[in-house]
Chains A and B, each alone.
Chain A
Amino acid sequence: MKSLVARFNEIEESRKFLTSGRISEIEKQHNKGKLTARERIGKLLDPGSFEEIDLWSGAYKTGFDIDEMEIPGDAVVVGRGEVNGRPIYLWAQDYTIVNGTMARIHIAKIVRVMEKALVERVPIVSIYDSQGPRIQDMVVAHGECSYSTMLRFSTISSGVIPQISLIMGPCIGGAALLAAISDFVFMVRNTSYMHVASLPQGMSNEEYGGSRMHSQVSGNCDVLAENDEECMQDARLLLGFLPLNNAQLSPMIDTQDDPNRIDEQLMEMVPSDTTKWFDMRKVVKQIVDDGCYFEIKRDYAPCLSIGFASFDGQVVGILANNSMYKAGCMDARSSDKHARFNRFCDAFNIPLLYLADCPGFLPSVEEEKAGILRHGCMVIHAVAEATVPKILIAVRKLYAGAQLAMPTNIQKVDRILAWASADRGGMGAPELTSVIYKGRLDRAKSSEEREKIWREGMERMEGTLERFRLISNEDFIDPRQTRRVIIKTLRQLGNKKIERPPRKHENMNL
């Protein structure tokens, strides 16, 4: 019999062998500008916190030549660890082993951590870097070890624990659907691509499903990182804003920023001429803690900026119209962006802060054909359904349909706090006069009488609109004190509770 020490040493030897990897393959990975699975985990987690599980599970036998190869861990590293001292589960595909291809044990290991993350109610991070299914194995694989099983676990976990996908290499076929179900998709410039349908002839992966395409055009990518290190840093940052599960609140963010800070700059940032644009993100950065604003989908539908920040340490989800793009109008794309983010925050108890400067939904033939009404309804649904604290800062324009996307009393927003520059309404005085006074104007016997009726109408409409500006906002605030007011308001709303009728789930427009 071997001694306990000898047995332990043997195991450690074996661990060292299995985790060291093949040098030539690691070099190849580095030459592509990519880190290995283990290096990535090292950067994601707090030093020394990684606990790997199922290291010794190798590939199942297939009956083909491939059985002769060493496939340590079946090309995926799974386990648990800590980010800023808070637990997460993770899995990382190892491209240095048979191109990170997915096989039975590979999938079984992923499903195991998915299940553990759900049971233990902690977030899960998925690192994708795989050439797809390993055909030799898939030919004979049992259905239980399949993409379907992963999709099922991810769906059940949705809205229970945060799920973050980091696409750091190929992510194709069923894996692309799995990533899309998660709450946030990160991609790395130049080295990552994602597509469910196969690559069309004559196109490159970068053109067809590269990070640029997904972050600017398709809206599949939430965060674009320049390289692997930055991707891991960003993932750590994002996790810092999120609660571990849907029964908890976000952690308090460490900050020394003065809650009573007066921001004189705000008086200059917003042009009172509503035809002039400005960058709303500057306003956001001015009022949040330490200017730290973690923007999501920055390059997709930028007419609406969304992201996380904190106020005196308390995390909020921010939705802000940005007049730099499309004058801040809502369109079908920004509706999708709005609704998904709004629903994520609601699912995970993160209060919502809306900064409004929106002339409404974009009037155009293309948008109507693209179903802007149906997409707009997703936003209306998401906003109405949200039971977390909802605070609206009316910065400037809030016309027509904008009052549905940036919620007002119509959707029971908790606070409407307006700057003096706030402007509410739909139609102007002339349009209103011509409709409301139509009968009298038509019946006028002379142009003088007509003129008189018109003046009377205009006067009354202008007066009414002015009153509307005042009464439609709960109160006006000093813009310089926006930060202080938000912090106070968040505190007031800390106990908010709305009981909605029970149901299996809603049936929102899709």
Chain B
Amino acid sequence: MLDKVRKIEEQRQRYSLGGGLDAIEKQHQRGKLTARERMDQLFDPSTFHELELWALPLRTGFEIDDKFSPADAVVIGYGNVAGRTVMAYAQDFTVLTGSQSAGQINKLTKVMETAVEMMIPYVSIVDSSGIRLQDAMGEPGPRSPMDGAGLHGPGSLMYSPPWASGVVPQIAVMLGAQVAGSSYSPILTDFLIMRRSPAVFMSLASPPVIREVTGVEVGYQEIGGTMLHAEVSGTCDIVVDSDEEGLEKCRKLLGFLPSNWKEKPPVIDTGDSPGRKEEFSDLVPIQLSQGYDMHKIISRIVDNGDLLEIKSLYAKNVIVCFARLGGQSVAIIANNPQEKLGAMDINSSDKMARFIRFCDAFNIPLIFLVDTIGYVPSMEEERAGLERHAAKVPYAICEATVPKITIYVRNCSRWGELAMCTGQMGADLVLAWPNAQIGNIDPEVAVDTIYAKEIEAAINPNKVRQERIKEFISRYNNLYHAGARGLIQDIIDPRDTRLLLIEALGWFAHKAKDRPEKKHGNIPL
């Protein structure tokens, strides 16, 4: 018996080396960790347990059958992240360049489907050259590795992520390259972390294909590099510079999330005093035409100034991030007046709506910090379908049943209120800082409409107009009037913001709101 155990351990050692010592050395030379090293970084020390190490590829009838390809080029298993169980797969680039066979895809989809059954998050660590053609075209006949036709797996890479969507958190960490169809499955997850590296890119068409079809010469990074996806296409959520950082960020992100849609996020002791008072007057200029960095405001409010920003390089006119208040996970959605004075556009709408919907699906309260000039006219935006994109935001907000708190920090004009959460969109608490402007109507437009007759009839129309404008501003464009109209519930001293938010999260802790039964809504796309 013991002898057998020893032999098994020897074999385990052999299998665990993946493509062998030389291949591991090569992987390290590329500045990359191996799949199993990555698992060790992702999980709490010695909690990772690999399963199906013994899986080998199906016969193909080609030369690659002669190679020893342990685990079919992917490592899967359970482990703990900050003490909570998480599943993960990591493609092993040292084995047949991590390529996807029917067998590998069967393992990947098993992770996805098992995570749903166990109601725990799963992490995809992606490092693969794509479909293994020898397998796709292998014996006894062709098999489509995408649908696991060779093995009839429970799902597929295109079926299982939508199956899990909104049930358990799904996170992908991209540490290698992906081209064509294989790129889709990391993007189908909730969050995509990408490493900035010449070896990491992701695109639908490869540069040779683009050259062949359109005649345009283009590099891999230009159409699929991490920075393109982070800044231009809006596909990447978090940019990192190393394997270690990517997996650390993934751990941090998981820390804000519940294990599944039925649970609440974990509460941890951050050591920050709820009653801590901060000064904000130095940060927010009174002049509406002056921008400022909203990050600083958020940092002063949340526990230890610690936040995890999502899509920080895309649509910078809005900030979306996770943070903690009194140890509880919250999601913050804030206009950033530093960028276009916090104007709303298509990209910011897509970014906000997706984040809000994720947080609602996983019971994370939403806090809105408002300072925006709203929708700014632009033919280009209009041509790209501004309305259907912009409408995703009020949709996502109204759909959300988690606690929602809105703070009007300064400006809110040109329909900007409809992209942040008003009381009538279901905000549970609506607060204003003393300099906030909410519900204000352009006094000149208003006076020209309301007093048109009087101004026309006046001997000195301009004088009357100016007087009326002054009167209008003092009578209507102020916070007391906003309070009278029910647009805000209280005006607060900014220094009390932190404490009040923490108290309010307590008030709303048992919030339960139902929606009419439906398969799903029909959010504008």
A-to-B contact residues, CB < 8 Å: 64-66, 118, 135-136, 138-144, 146-149, 151-152, 154-160, 173-174, 176-181, 183, 194-200, 203, 207-209, 213, 217-220, 246-247, 336, 339-340, 343-344, 346-347, 361, 363-365, 367-374, 376-378, 380-381, 384-385, 387, 400-401, 403-404, 408-412, 426-427, 432, 435-436, 439-440, 461, 464-465, 467-468, 471-472, 500-510
Contacts and interface: CB of A to CB of B under 8 A. Distances in A.
Contact of B424 (A144, A412, A508): A144
Contact of A409 (B144, B213, B374): B144
B522 A152 contact: no
A289 to B, nearest CB: 26
B228 interface: yes
A33 to B, nearest CB: 24
Interface string B410-431: 0000110110001111100000
Given A143-B485, A343-B520, A409-B149, A372 B204 contact: yes
Contact of B162 (A208, A220, A361, A380): A380
A135 B444 CA distance: 12
Interface string B2-39: 00000000000000000000000000000000000000
Interface in B384-405: 384-388, 390-392, 394-395, 398-399, 401
Contact of A203 (B379, B423, B516): B379
Nearest to B374: A197
Contacts of B381: 197
B165 A508 contact: yes
Interface stretch (B85-93, B286-294, B353-361, B459-467): B353-361
B398 A144 contact: no
Given A118-B516, A177-B387, A503 B261 contact: yes
A218 B133 CA distance: 40
Interface stretch (B51-59, B184-192, B270-278, B497-505): B184-192
A412 B159 contact: yes
B146 A410 contact: yes
Interface string B481-525: 000011100000000000000000000000000011111111111
B109 to A, nearest CB: 11
Interface string B326-341: 0000000000000000
A506 B160 CA distance: 13
A55 B499 CA distance: 49
B297 interface: no
Contacts of B517: 160, 246-247
B264 to A, nearest CB: 13
B394 A151 contact: yes
Contacts of A465: 142
Most buried by B among A160, A367, A380: A380
A208 B424 contact: no
Contacts of B375: 196-197
A158 B167 contact: no
B520 A507 contact: no
Most buried by B among A173, A363, A381, A510: A510
B149 A365 contact: no
B222 interface: yes
B158 A148 contact: no
A156 B166 contact: no
Contacts of A64: 450
B210 A365 contact: yes
Given A347-B520, A377-B188, A409-B144, 20 more contacts: A143-B487, A149-B424, A151-B394, A154-B398, A155-B399, A158-B521, A159-B519, A173-B415, A197-B377, A197-B382, A213-B383, A343-B525, A361-B204, A364-B216, A365-B223, A368-B203, A373-B187, A401-B180, A504-B361, A506-B520
B65 to A, nearest CB: 12
B233 A180 contact: no
A465 B144 CA distance: 11
* Across the A-B interface, the 9 shortest Cβ-Cβ residue pairs: A363-B205, A180-B391, A148-B424, A155-B398, A371-B233, A197-B375, A503-B166, A159-B521, A384-B162
A367 B375 CA distance: 25
Contact of A220 (B228, B388, B487, B522): B388
Interface in B26-83: 62-63
A377 B184 contact: yes
Contacts of B228: 368-369
Contacts of A367: 204-205
A371 B218 CA distance: 16
Contact of B384 (A218, A246, A344, A364): A218
Contacts of A140: 476, 485
A164 B204 CA distance: 35
Given A368-B203, A432-B137, A504-B401, A65 B453 contact: yes
Interface string B439-462: 101000110011101100000000
12 contacts: A65-B453, A158-B521, A158-B522, A177-B390, A200-B378, A208-B379, A369-B228, A384-B161, A436-B62, A439-B63, A471-B142, A500-B163
A213 B208 CA distance: 35
A177 B522 contact: no
Given A155-B399, A180-B388, A200 B214 contact: no
Contact of A199 (B164, B377, B449): B377
B63 A440 contact: yes
B392 A160 contact: no
B134 interface: yes
Contacts of A174: 415, 418
A197 B163 contact: no
B487 A365 contact: no
Given A180-B387, A340-B522, A411-B156, A510 B378 contact: no
B387 A179 contact: yes
A370 B228 CA distance: 10
B133 A410 contact: no
A507 B144 contact: no
Contacts of A209: 382
A472 B116 CA distance: 29
A136 to B, nearest CB: 5
A508 B520 CA distance: 11
Contacts of B515: 156
Contacts of A412: 156, 159
B184 A501 contact: no
A347 B519 contact: yes
B209 interface: yes
Contacts of B384: 218
B224 interface: yes
A374 B149 contact: no
B232 interface: yes
B361 A505 contact: yes
A208 B382 contact: yes
A363 B214 contact: yes
B188 A365 contact: no
B449 A135 contact: yes
B147 interface: yes
